[in-house]
Structure 1
Amino acid sequence: MADSPSRSGVFQASTDKRLEAFAESISFDRRMYQQDIRGSIAHADMLASVGLLTREEFSTIRDTLKEIEAELDADQFPIRFELEDIHMHIEQALIDRIGDVGRKLHTARSRNDQVSTDVRMWVREALDTVDARLLELQRAFLSRCERDFDVVLPAYTHLQRAQPVIRPPLLDGVYRKTAARSGPRRRLSPTRQRMLAWRCGGRRNHAANRS
């Protein structure tokens, strides 16, 4: 019997270990488990709001997903490479624990929807982290400007030493580059805005519109 849910009902023999090693992404996409669980809880809440889940079923799914998240936080969640990615790991754990109610979570959502949503959420939060660290760097430059007026350094021209200068103008120049309209923090903002676009069901909706 096939040992991966993604291939069950298609192949009878077990998957070759070389294919499992080629197809798996759990070794790097497990970092998105928090986004995957938050997205799944939101999706389950939507299913309950339109009557496809009862509120009791939603509560069961939500509470079980939070249990799984706690195990992942504590690095106590078992990883199986035949399950390929973090999405299938969480989905299979949910089904193993609460049975067919867990299968209902996949209603009205494709794996492509799930991956796209998780990646966008993860990238958005990573951009926020980068932005916060750049802000800390800018503040550090300004702080040194106030403290280093007695530090003298050689300026350079054409890779050769030139006249001596004090350090603050050099640090201020670096600060201004990071704070400029074309600086790194300004470039992060439009990328973050694009990550806010919700794409769930986009391909199916596009196909439906074309038909």
Structure 2
Amino acid sequence: MNPSAQPQTWSQRFETALHPAIAQFNASISFDIELIEYDITGSQAHAKMLAHTNIISSEEGEALVSGLEQIRQDYRKGLFKPGIDAEDVHFAVEHRLTELIGDTGKKLHTARSRNDQVGTDTRLYLRDQINQIRSQLRAFQTVLLTLAEQHVETLIPGYTHLQRAQPLSLAHHLLAYVEMTQRDWERLGDVYRRVDISPLGSGALAGTTFPIDRHYAADLLGFSQVYANSLDGVSDRDFAIEFVAAASLILVHLSRLSEEVILWASEEFRFVTLKDSCATGSSIMPQKKNPDVPELVRGKAGRVFGHLQALLVLMKGLPLAYNKDLQEDKEALFDSVKTVRACLEAMTILMQEGLEFRTDRLNQAVTEDFSNATDVADYLAAKGVPFREAYNMVGKVVKTSLVSGKLLKDLTLEEWQAIHPAFEPDIYEAIAPRQVVAARNSYGGTGFAQVQQALSAAKERLSQVN
């Protein structure tokens, strides 16, 4: 069909039809069809409000609501497929409604503009998506928590600057990501509160002359508030920017874990084995098993960051109130939602069933370095040696040990006592990896007792609903 063949709602103001290429350029139906059921829900509430305030009759209100519901069911069955001639989802629904119920369908847009309509639809969509993403975050946290419970006493090298630092409980390492995603979950709850404000009834920019009841319509749609300023109501996209910022942080956290899994799966680390269900092979090297899932998550983070930048640039120069530029918020928002949801699903599967920690290799790794050097300094400090003096002394020991090819555990008691007479036979227990971890029992530390408390606290948080 010629894109300009279907008369537009505003066409009587113009002498000629819209150029077909411009109609194509102007249309948003290809992507805002995502909003169709939210548009129907919002329109049903608007129709009920019009009848409630006697702007239309109760019979007309019922006809509008039932006609809209038929469109919903037809869409679900694949019987309603609006094309480019519809321009956008809002016009498509209204045009179809008029076909179904006659001229009464033309009353649906009374006391409403597409400006407040699209704002309402977008907020209904995003409220729903936030709830689903928060549920996905809970599922991801649950998987991490289950893994952590299995590995409280599994040790893993801890790193700073990607250099061996101090040994950790593997559970402590995994729980760090539970904490990160807890902030993500809470942050989305904060964003939800600013999404949960109804712009419906703001009109094009200045409200309406009709005696509408905005709070009644907002209540029908489950909004907790209404916009207090009609200009702000139709032009605000802060909520979308906030959401994409929150989504970006989720991807930051998933990407950091992805990077670690990629390293852990390498031959150089060998901390995890990737299972066949979550890895791919090489087209030329038959020995390869590639970590495609974490690599893709790491890569997809960038596209969400790009959407955040795009939305900020989109909004920074817009005068009040609505501008056509705001049509560009949809694709960025929709793709951010789809990307973060897909990455959460993939990473949940990966961590739940796509990899296995090599505990033998991990236990070996914490015995083959100098990550217990701080504990030697702490040992001397506990015996009255000033820490900085002890630190410098141990640094010299590490340097000479590297030259001689020894680890600290390989030094004889005589060698220890030659360094400082405070050393006693218990030095060997103090620098054993398991004791090094267990001793770090300060609040929030990697000590096994602290990790058990952290597990309990995490379980309690995961039971929270809001």
Q: TM-score with structure 1 length normalisation? A: 0.87
Task: Report the aligned-residue RMSD.
Answer: 2.2
Matching residue of 2:206: 204
One-letter code aligned to 2:200: C
2:132 aligned with 1:135, yes or no?
Answer: no
Deviation of 1:152 after TM superposition, in Å, equals 4.3
| Aligned residue identity for 2:193 | Q
Q: Map of 1:100-119 to 2, 5 A cutoff?
A: 100-119=103-122
Amino acid at match of 1:98: I
- Structure with the greater relative contact order (CA < 8 A, sep ≥ 6): 1 or 2? 1
Query: Which stretch has the larger CA shift, 159-168 or 117-126?
Result: 159-168
CA offset at residue 80 of structure 1?
2.2
Work out which of the residue numbers 33, 49, 52 in structure 2 matches 1:30.
33
Quick check: 1:99 aligned with 2:102?
yes
Q: Note if 1:189 corresponds to 2:189.
A: yes
Which string of whole-angstrom CA distances, capped at 9 and with x for unpartnered residues, describes residues 59-89 of structure 1? 2211111111112223331222122111000
Q: Does the CA contact (< 8 Å) of 2:155 and 2:169 recur in 1?
A: yes
Partner of 2:14: 11
Alpha-carbon deviation of 1:99?
1.4
Q: In structure 2, what is the equivalent of residue 73 of structure 1?
A: 76
The aligned counterpart of 1:51 is 54
Structure 1 runs (4+) greater than 6 angstroms displaced = none
Residue identity opposite 2:198 in structure 1:
W
- Paired residue total: 205
Long gaps (5+) in structure 1: none
Is the partner of 1:99 in helix, strand or coil? helix
* CA distance in 2 between partners of 1:65 and 1:131 (Å): 30
CA deviation string 1:123-174 (max 9, x = no partner):
1111111111111111111111112346443332211345554421111111
Residues of 2 paired with 1:39 and 1:54: CA distance?
19
The offset of 1:38, in angstroms, is: 0.7
**Paired residues of 1:2 and 1:8 also in contact (CA < 8 A):** no
CA distance in 2, matches of 1:14, 1:151: 71
Instruction: Tell me how far 1:13 sits from its aligned partner.
Output: 3.7
1:83 to 59, 82, 86: 86
Helix, strand or coil at the partner of 1:44: helix
Rounded to whole Å, the distance in 2 between the matches of 1:52 and 1:173 is 56
User: What is the deviation of 1:97?
Assistant: 1.4
Q: TM-score, normalised by structure 2?
A: 0.41
Give how far 1:2 is off. 6.0
Q: Which amino acid aligns with 1:145?
A: A
When Rg is computed on C-alpha atoms for both structures, the one with the higher figure is: 2
Instruction: Tell me the amino acid that sits aligned with residue 13 of structure 2.
Output: V
2:161 aligned partner: 158
Q: Distance between the aligned counterparts of 2:129 and 2:38, measured in 1?
A: 12
2:175 to 172, 176, 181: 172
The percentage of aligned residue pairs carrying the same residue is: 34
SS at match of 2:78: coil
